[in-house]
Amino acid sequence: MLKSLLLTSMALAVASAYAAEPEVQQVLITAQKRTQTTLDVAQSVSVISGETLEREQASTFADYLKLVPSLQLVQSTPGEGRLVLRGLDTGGVASTVAVYLDETPFGSSSGLVNGAVLAGDFDTFDMARVEVLRGPQGAVYGASSLGGLLKFVTNAPDTENFVLRARAGAATVEGGKLAYRSNLVVNTPISDTLAFRASGSYTKEPGFIDSIGTEGSDRANDINGSRNYGGRASLLYAPNKDFSLRLSAVAQNIEVDSSSVVESDPETLATLHGRQSSSQFVPQLHDVNYRVYNATLNWNMGWAALTSSTSAARQKQTYRDDATYNLSALIASIFETPNELYLAQNTNLKKFTQEVRLSSNPGGAFDWLAGVYYTDEEGLIKQRYAPVNPGTLTPITALPLLARVELASKYKEYAAFANTTFHFGPRYDLDLGARYSHNKQDAQQAQDGALVGGPSDLTAESSEHVFTYAVAPKFKIDDRNSLYARAAKGFRPGGPNVLPPNAPAGTPTTYASDSVMSYEIGYKSLSADGKLSFEVAAFHIEWKDIQLLAVVNGFGVNTNGVGATSNGLEFNATLRPLQGLRLSANGSYNKARLDGDTDPLVGGVKGDRLPFSPKLSMALMADYRWAVGDTTQAFAGASVRHLSDQSASFDGAYRTAHGRQREVPSYNVVDAHVGLEMGTWTLEAYGKNLGNSHGKVSTGAQTANGMNVAPGGAINTGVIAPRTLGVTLTKEF
């Protein structure tokens, strides 16, 4: 059936760039901190244009996974997701993929502010492109880029043209109600040297998961509705071609009523109860806010170009997580008080960064870039268990404080980096890059409550020095074909463990950075007639000293554990066989496995596949565009994405009982769209997940604190959005 589906997709399918272009174009990117074509970059790269994002109705990570080989998303709640590239994931709280918004690094570099599951999922309306660099980017981007980099590139203000564009749409969601979406962008030249651009977005998504009263839970429909709204503003001053100053601000709010998890069979992961349901006792909420401010100066001084980027960013998460089924019975048995219970958490991150770099102007025997970088982070996590009267959010004042924990942390990093490309004649290049980093961290934890043994105040600190590098020779067969090889090192910072002063000797007070060493070879081609582009890369990655949770002398700590190996192959191809028709395909084969056993707390065993790393993923797409009369253009297309079975999150108890980790079944996702461009109006109808697949994208634990997390021994699994049918109308003034 899959073969038939893929063949049908090749005939019908679509990936959304404007197919009226006469040929496949070489794309300019800036992910290496200088402007290059993808053909000139000696590593595996994907670029998603703003036109493609808009045509695919792609506004979140989940919408454009099909466009990027080896990119996966582990997610149970919108706005809270873990990005995975080339299979580098074992769980944990520190990120393996760096996220940038233009020149601003976003999210925490440390392991103390939940950076792994709070990747910046920025709205993509009025975005110039999204760039993805696979493999470690430690030489240029440093901390937490050992899996790769995802960079959002926004449209800069235009000093020549006035633009006003509005878009509105609605959609029906299977099992839910209507979704509403609206966008607006305006660009206005103020003078020949000054321009302003602003955009805003508002999206309301209906819930599609119900609480159906299982074992006394609430009866409520569509409990996982969400709102996503915000905007960007940018002011550009460009008095001449050699100087520019851009000031930017971004604000985005993601408000979610409840996680998009459903109760599933712990053996097969099949959705239970014949519908998408989750047992709610206490109404939940998950809110994430982004604020980003940046000033970027570019000055071409003739002998070199100077770039200065100053950023201040803030990320705030607030959630109320229902813990009733897992803990209320225990609380009632101890304190003889009927209750419902939730975990309240606030996560706050403030981050300041400054980067200054110099780069050569092109045309010499070698190109060079050198810079310095500084970041200062302040993190704060507050947690408390809050008992409430059943059926309400009214606190039970008769109970003592159950648990309150506050973890304040600071992270400072200084780095210097350099990169150069030697041109040995017209055919041979050699890229060399290196980065030296020093970070220092401090943490203070205060806790109190009956469940945590009463009051205590703890402190910890750590510091380390890290050197990363990259070497990449490249052979240009001709102007449209190149071969390259790349060896690169990346890292993720270590940090302190907060322990009481009487902890036994041998309990680790710090954990070190983990690192990857990657070896990659690749081939890139653009045909002479411009109708075919093709990229393929093979890689071998050795991940050492992986940061994992462990229990040492009775204390839960972060430690450096086993290693892992990831071997794989990626490809991306685009063909224009006829005027207006574009066919494309991408895919990856990945074998990522542990090299040894983890601590029982994690539950991994040598040879286990790394979580949510499918052995095979593939997407087939096509786009067709044609004229309807003299003033109207029509377009249509479809796509299919296939993911083979995957390993779920590590679970030691399950593995002991079954001799293997849980498996997430394979699934397919089919999308399609059709539309008309009528002068300044564009009307588009689209469908996402037309087969209404229940693909699972995360798994939780079956038990916690020795008790079941969900009724009937079910586990909670994140699920992709169900079938969605929508329409949008765009007007450009």
Strands 715-719 and 696-699: antiparallel
Contact (Cβ atoms closer than 8 angstroms) between residue 368 and residue 361: no
Q: Is the pLDDT of residue 200 over 70?
A: yes
Count Cβ atoms below 10 Å from residue 243 Cβ, excluding itself.
15
Distance CA 341, CA 386 (A): 6
87-105 pLDDT, tens digit per residue, is 999 888 889 999 999 999 9
Number of structural domains the chain divides into: 1
97-133 pLDDT, tens digit per residue, is 999 999 999 999 999 999 999 999 999 999 999 999 9
Distance CA 397, CA 404 (A): 15
- For 91: left if phi > 0, alpha if psi spans -120 to 50, otherwise beta; the answer is left
* Biggest distance spanned by C-alpha atoms of the chain: 82
Distance CA 71, CA 149 (A): 10
**Backbone CA torsion sign across 654, 656, 658, 663:** positive
What is the DSSP annotation of 73-116? EEEEETTEEEEEETT-----SS-SEEEEETTEEES-SSSSS-GG
Q: Is the pLDDT of residue 556 over 50?
A: yes
Q: Coil, strand, or helix at residue 214?
A: helix
Contact (Cβ atoms closer than 8 angstroms) between residue 591 and residue 568: yes
**Backbone CA torsion sign across 332, 337, 339, 345:** negative
pLDDT at 25: 59
pLDDT at 4: 39
Distance CA 430, CA 365 (A): 11
562-609 pLDDT, tens digit per residue, is 999 999 999 999 999 999 999 999 999 999 999 999 998 899 999 999
What is the DSSP annotation of 613-644? --SEEEEEEEEEEEEETTTEEEEEEEEEEEE-
Which are the contacts of 164, defined by CB distance < 8 A and separation ≥ 6? 185, 186, 187, 732, 733
Residue 652's alpha-carbon distances to 91, 469, 611, in angstroms, are 14, 36, 13
Distance CA 504, CA 501 (A): 9
Contact (Cβ atoms closer than 8 angstroms) between residue 349 and residue 119: no
pLDDT at 11: 36
| 209 token code pair | 């998961």
| 288 token code pair | 């994430």
| 697 token code pair | 């994208």
- For 31: left if phi > 0, alpha if psi spans -120 to 50, otherwise beta; the answer is alpha
Contact (Cβ atoms closer than 8 angstroms) between residue 211 and residue 219: yes
Q: Is the pLDDT of residue 198 over 80?
A: yes
**pTM confidence score:** 0.93
Domain containing 361: what range?
Answer: 2-732
Distance CA 466, CA 109 (A): 14
Q: Is the pLDDT of residue 451 over 90?
A: no
Minimal CA–CA distance to 136: which of 82, 99, 85?
Answer: 85
Distance CA 600, CA 654 (A): 12
Q: What is the mean pLDDT of the chain?
A: 92
Phi, psi at 331, each rounded to 5°: -60, -40
Which are the contacts of 101, defined by CB distance < 8 A and separation ≥ 6? 120, 122, 151, 152, 154, 250, 292, 294
Residue 596's H or E segment, with its range, is none
Distance CA 651, CA 701 (A): 7
Q: Coil, strand, or helix at residue 242?
A: coil
CATH number, domain at 407? 2.40.170.20
First vs last C-alpha separation in the chain: 46
Q: What is the mean pLDDT of residues 260-271?
A: 95
648-697 pLDDT, tens digit per residue, is 999 999 999 999 999 999 999 999 999 999 999 999 999 999 999 999 99
If you ran DSSP here, which 8-state letter would residue 271 be given? Answer: B
| 723 token code pair | 């079938």
231-242 pLDDT, tens digit per residue, is 999 999 999 999
- For 124: left if phi > 0, alpha if psi spans -120 to 50, otherwise beta; the answer is alpha
pLDDT at 36: 85
Highest mean pLDDT among 332-336, 553-557, 687-691: 687-691
